[in-house]
Structure 1
Amino acid sequence: MNRMLSRFALPAGALLVLWILTACAPLSPLPPADTASDAMPAAVTVDVATVIGPVSPLLYGSGYGPWVSLRPETLPLAYDAGITVLRWPGGEWGDHNDIRYPQLDQFVELAHQMGAEPYIHVRFLDSTPEVAADVVRHANVEMGYNIRYWAIGNEPSLFEAGDHPWDAAAFSAEWRKFAAAMKAVDPTILLLGPETHQYTGTPDVDPVDSSGRDWLRTFLAANGDLVDIVAVHRYPFPNNAERTSATIPDLRADAPRWTEIARNLHATTMEETGRALPIAFTEVNSHWTRSIRGEATPDSLFSALWLGDVLGRLMTERVTMMTQFLLVTGGDSGFGLLEKYGPRPSYFTYQLYKYFGHTLVASSSPLDDVTAYAALTADGALTVMLINLTDVEQSLPLAITGLDDPAGERVRQAERRLFDVEHTAEMMGSVDTTAPVVLPAQSMTLLTFP
């Protein structure tokens, strides 16, 4: 067993305000990189002078619920995960059970210990606006938690399939009553919605109700004036009737789709509301089934690399929030960043992004399955994330322009952190960046230029 896999077997304030002010509109596509010549491989390029904007501090999220738990072995890992927002209770559980205040209080304590913003989903099915308002009252008035992020119901686009009489129009009208009651208690809360399932922005596959109405568009037409962040869910696999797990080529081909999907969500929001509202993907994983122990299931190395690339694409497309599903699961599914006694590969995706900068700048890669993302830290260091989704080692020159470095000294060497089959987001020392940068097969590399 290799070193990394044996380890797996062992028992945000002012920046967010700036983000909300600048992040809602989609970007124009960056120009394509030049084609590599036969004589010299084309370079990964970074243009520090071309600032895309702040990286949302809410992109590094996850979910948690009363049906899972952290053990003494995994609590320290959760505290150190780098999770910035924690969604609760989420999932189907949240629409079939009432929130108990002791549970909520324990969750808020956990979120605070993790350094994460709490994000609460109140029950919609078999509940009332008054009950939802009471949850807000307990949390923000009586307890003073000042929880900012709230949602009403989970994946309402599946309600009719579960024999619940809520089509898109009826849900949207009732959602409005919940929203008004909750905001009457605390006008400062931010509401996310509608959290429909499997959004892509493709009309022939997006969820519709029993009358053929598009769920997201119906909701936005009714509540575009009340919703604060437009939120949807997506799990790309399985995508067949047999519910077979994805292969590595399947997952590799899916990653670029997130660029188009995020742009579609921005466009749909503007079309239906006339406003450039923030957008979010509040349940994300490679599989929606309990797939586990496959080459590309959620507990695999490749799914962790896919998640890393998806994160880079979402920040490039100005997405405000992403919450991966789920923080921890046992051996019956691969969803969790953590398993019962330790980390899964996707945990180290978050570990690497803990060192990524906060101000995104332009970058490009000459290879389709090698992606590059670059950002400046608060103290001016340049960070470059290089994700190699190919099955072979890649060696690419690095061309950095626009850095305040008249003598060219800063770009000669970088600190390197590596996540691959043998390394768990570890510091690997300094690397000479005047020579081509070597990227191991199926890996994430973070370079930091102090």
Structure 2
Amino acid sequence: MTRLLTLALLVLAGRSHAATVTPGPAPARPILPASVSGFNLGNWMPVVEQVPALNALNPAALRWPGGNIGDEQNRTPEALQTLKTNWTLLGRPPLLLQTRVFSRPGGNRDGAEARNTPADAADLVRMAQELGLNVAYWEIGNEPDLYATNRSDPSWTPEKYCGVVRAQKAAILKVDPAARIAGPAVSNPGPFLDAAIKGCGDAFDLITWHLYPSNGDGTDAAAFASIDQVQGTLTRVQTLWADPATNPLAQGRPLAQGVTEYAQSWRSDRATHLSDAVGGLWAAEAALRLSEGGVVFDTYFSLMATGNHGLVDDAGYPRFSYAAFRELAHYRGETVNLSSDDPTVWVHAARQGGFITVFALNTAATATPLTLSVPGYSLVGAKTVTDADVNADRSPRSLAVAAPVGLPPLSLTRLVLKAFSSPSAELP
């Protein structure tokens, strides 16, 4: 649909002025489901116990094994079989599989020899083929920028990593000439990412990085402000890629970016800004901004049962982040570009069939009345979720569609508008 929408949303926040949300200049573009509904998966996760709840997320991409366990454990036939079982339960979406890169002196903690050679990477591809796994990308290692510090092996320079990438890629392509390679999967953007792009950017089909702005010890305001790092990093990588001085080996090749881990905080042992509303709103907004920014494979850390990370906790209870990503399962179709002059209300929209779905994330600690007017469309439904709803095990609450619609404090609200000309369309 190419018809220009004249759309205005007035957010009357009880402040000295009304914030306005209007269409921005960006044209509509298709929404890639893998860019907004992807998750890290690990064999420690009891997926079988939560199948209906997890499938309500409409998973569109999975990364396995999630996190640094990828450099702690070998890829065995038994591990791959467990992956296949969980992957099948989750609808068989495209996979990104980590190869093993790092090893400790003496091998694994269990005494087994570490399988991290190019031949082992090739064996992983063969095992995946035999099991019929749908592998979109092979990611070479996990957070190699931390091998020298967190893992106490200073020999791991970007140059050494690039050598491993080229060797594993060559072995993988001998087994599957159509295989696509991802990396460097750094823990956060920085000098290692820059050096990897410069030294082996040509070896990657997907440039991947992780984003963890904090360790969960800041204020709510600082946590929300860190969302700007999403677009900042996307732009940084685009700039590096375009410059022959910083990317001398892959000039002329299109850039594809993937964010294979992200959360507001990296501290799995700290609940602040992970399992609370702030963490959930940040994660949902990051997913939306990454999707709108052109990321093609985007996996939140993590799906479930990973300390305070995880949409569902170890006991099977959903967190705010689960409720948020369940709403984002409706972010499909094509984008409707919106911009807000209220920095505390983040707004995104998708158009599909005869409907526009608006996602309003209220990061303010106060309620915000919202009035919207879309010529040619009428508001037919609104549901909201807060931390209190999640903690009380309540489904998203319906809100009155009469203007204004009240956005609760620290909430995610999904509003659905129906085109007057689409009486037979089905409500999403």
TM-score w.r.t. length of structure 1:
0.79
Aligned to 2:52: 76
Q: 1:263-282 alignment to 2 at 5 Å?
A: 263-271=235-243, 272=247, 273-274=250-251, 275-282=253-260
Instruction: Give the Cα–Cα distance (whole angstroms) in 2 for the partners of residues 34 and 270 of structure 1.
Output: 39
Report if aligned partners of 2:11, 2:369 keep a CA contact under 8 Å in 1. no
Query: Shift in Å at residue 235 of structure 1?
Result: 0.8
Structure 1, gaps ≥5 residues long? 1-32, 200-205, 207-213, 239-243
Instruction: Give the Cα–Cα distance (whole angstroms) in 2 for the partners of residues 246 and 131 of structure 1.
Output: 42
Q: 1:121 aligns with which of 76, 98, 103?
A: 98
Aligned to 1:173: 163
Query: Shift in Å at residue 146 of structure 1?
Result: 3.7
Q: 1:391 to 1:146 in 2, by over 3 A?
A: closer
Structure 2, gaps ≥5 residues long? 1-8, 104-115, 419-428
- Is 2:226 the partner of 1:226? no
Report if aligned partners of 1:415, 1:429 keep a CA contact under 8 Å in 2. yes
Larger relative CO (CA 8 A, sep 6+): 1 or 2?
A: 1
Aligned to 2:270: 292
- SS of the residue corresponding to residue 318 of structure 2 reads coil
Q: 1:170-319 alignment to 2 at 5 Å?
A: 170-199=160-189, 206=190, 214-238=191-215, 245-271=217-243, 272=247, 273-274=250-251, 275-294=253-272, 296=273, 298-319=274-295
Query: Shift in Å at residue 73 of structure 1?
Result: 4.0
Report if aligned partners of 1:280, 1:322 keep a CA contact under 8 Å in 2. yes
Instruction: Give the Cα–Cα distance (whole angstroms) in 2 for the partners of residues 262 and 308 of structure 1.
Output: 17
Report if aligned partners of 1:357, 1:374 keep a CA contact under 8 Å in 2. no
Report if aligned partners of 1:45, 1:364 keep a CA contact under 8 Å in 2. yes
Q: 1:44 to 1:398 in 2, by over 3 A?
A: farther
Aligned to 1:381: 355
Number of aligned pairs? 382
Instruction: Give the Cα–Cα distance (whole angstroms) in 2 for the partners of residues 75 and 46 of structure 1.
Output: 38
Query: Shift in Å at residue 397 of structure 1?
Result: 3.1
- Is 2:337 the partner of 1:337? no
Aligned to 2:423: none
Q: 1:155 aligns with which of 139, 143, 154?
A: 143
Aligned to 2:39: 62
Instruction: Give the Cα–Cα distance (whole angstroms) in 1 for the partners of residues 195 and 229 of structure 2.
Output: 24
Task: Write out the 4+ residue segments of structure 1 that deviate beyond 6 Å after TM superposition.
Answer: 33-40
Aligned to 2:74: 98
Query: Shift in Å at residue 280 of structure 1?
Result: 1.3
Aligned to 2:385: 419
TM-score w.r.t. length of structure 2:
0.82
Query: Shift in Å at residue 427 of structure 1?
Result: 5.5
User: Partner letter of residue 157 of structure 2?
Assistant: D
Instruction: Give the Cα–Cα distance (whole angstroms) in 2 for the partners of residues 277 and 427 of structure 1.
Output: 41
Q: 2:121 aligns with which of 110, 132, 151?
A: 132
Report if aligned partners of 1:34, 1:366 keep a CA contact under 8 Å in 2. no
Aligned to 1:14: none
- Is 2:322 the partner of 1:347? yes
Instruction: Give the Cα–Cα distance (whole angstroms) in 2 for the partners of residues 178 and 79 of structure 1.
Output: 34
Instruction: Give the Cα–Cα distance (whole angstroms) in 2 for the partners of residues 46 and 118 of structure 1.
Output: 35
Report if aligned partners of 1:44, 1:364 keep a CA contact under 8 Å in 2. yes
Query: Shift in Å at residue 39 of structure 1?
Result: 8.2
Report if aligned partners of 2:382, 2:413 keep a CA contact under 8 Å in 1. yes
Query: Shift in Å at residue 36 of structure 1?
Result: 9.8
Instruction: Give the Cα–Cα distance (whole angstroms) in 2 for the partners of residues 393 and 119 of structure 1.
Output: 40
Report if aligned partners of 2:33, 2:60 keep a CA contact under 8 Å in 1. yes
User: Partner letter of residue 417 of structure 1?
Assistant: K
Instruction: Give the Cα–Cα distance (whole angstroms) in 2 for the partners of residues 146 and 289 of structure 1.
Output: 31
Instruction: Give the Cα–Cα distance (whole angstroms) in 2 for the partners of residues 187 and 88 of structure 1.
Output: 21
User: Partner letter of residue 125 of structure 2?
Assistant: V
Aligned to 2:408: 440
- Post-superposition Cα deviations, 1:28-74, rounded to whole Å, max 9, x if no partner, equal xxxxx999999862432246x953312221121111223x2216543
Instruction: Give the Cα–Cα distance (whole angstroms) in 2 for the partners of residues 222 and 34 of structure 1.
Output: 49
Instruction: Give the Cα–Cα distance (whole angstroms) in 1 for the partners of residues 229 and 11 of structure 2.
Output: 21
Aligned to 2:4: none
Instruction: Give the Cα–Cα distance (whole angstroms) in 1 for the partners of residues 19 and 213 of structure 2.
Output: 32
Query: Shift in Å at residue 111 of structure 1?
Result: 1.7
User: Partner letter of residue 287 of structure 1?
Assistant: S
- SS of the residue corresponding to residue 418 of structure 1 reads strand
Instruction: Give the Cα–Cα distance (whole angstroms) in 2 for the partners of residues 35 and 69 of structure 1.
Output: 41
- SS of the residue corresponding to residue 202 of structure 2 reads coil
Instruction: Give the Cα–Cα distance (whole angstroms) in 1 for the partners of residues 278 and 10 of structure 2.
Output: 27
Instruction: Give the Cα–Cα distance (whole angstroms) in 2 for the partners of residues 388 and 414 of structure 1.
Output: 20
Report if aligned partners of 1:61, 1:84 keep a CA contact under 8 Å in 2. yes
Query: Shift in Å at residue 398 of structure 1?
Result: 2.2
Q: 1:216 to 1:189 in 2, by over 3 A?
A: same
Percent identical: 25
